[in-house]
Amino acid sequence: MPSQAQVLEALKVVKDPEIPVNVVDLGLIYGVDVSEAGNVEITMTLTSVGCPVQDLIRADAEMAVMRLDGVNQVEVDFVWSPPWAPEKMSDDGKRQMRMFGFNV
C-alpha cells in the first residue's frame, strides 16, 4: 500500500492544461486517504467552479495513482469549499507560475 507522500508525488504529473503547474504545487489537493486495502481517496478542488477540464484532470489523477504498487482503486472527489486561492500554491508552484509569465 502506498503512503500519502507517494500518492502526492505521483500526482505531480497531473497538470491543469490551462496552467503549466502540477495540481500538488498549485495547492489543489486538499486531502489523500489510503486504506489498508489499497483504496485511495483524493479530495481536491480546481481553480474555478465549472472548470471545463475537470473530467480530464480526474482521469489523469486516477491513472497517475493507479500506477503505484498496491493501489486497488482511486476515487477523486472535487470540493469547492474552501475555494482555491493563489495563496494555496507551494513556493515551487509560485516560482513555476512566474517562469511562465503569470503574476503571483
pLDDT, tens digit (0-9, with 9 covering 90-100), for 4-45: 999 999 999 999 888 889 999 999 999 999 999 999 999 999
- What's the confidence (pLDDT) of residue 20? 83
* Within a domain: 102: no
- Which cell numbers in the block locate residue 33? 486517504
Residue-level length of the chain: 104
pLDDT, tens digit (0-9, with 9 covering 90-100), for 66-102: 999 999 999 999 999 999 999 999 999 999 999 888 8
* Within a domain: 97: no
* Within a domain: 34: yes
* Within a domain: 12: yes
User: What residue numbers bound the domain in which 46 lies?
Assistant: 4-84
Q: What are phi and psi of 32, to 5 degrees?
A: -135, 125
28 in Cβ contact with 44 (< 8 Å) = yes
* Within a domain: 103: no
- What's the confidence (pLDDT) of residue 104? 78
Give the H/E segment covering residue 42: strand 39-44
- What's the confidence (pLDDT) of residue 50? 86
- What's the confidence (pLDDT) of residue 54? 94
- What's the confidence (pLDDT) of residue 18? 82
* Within a domain: 93: no
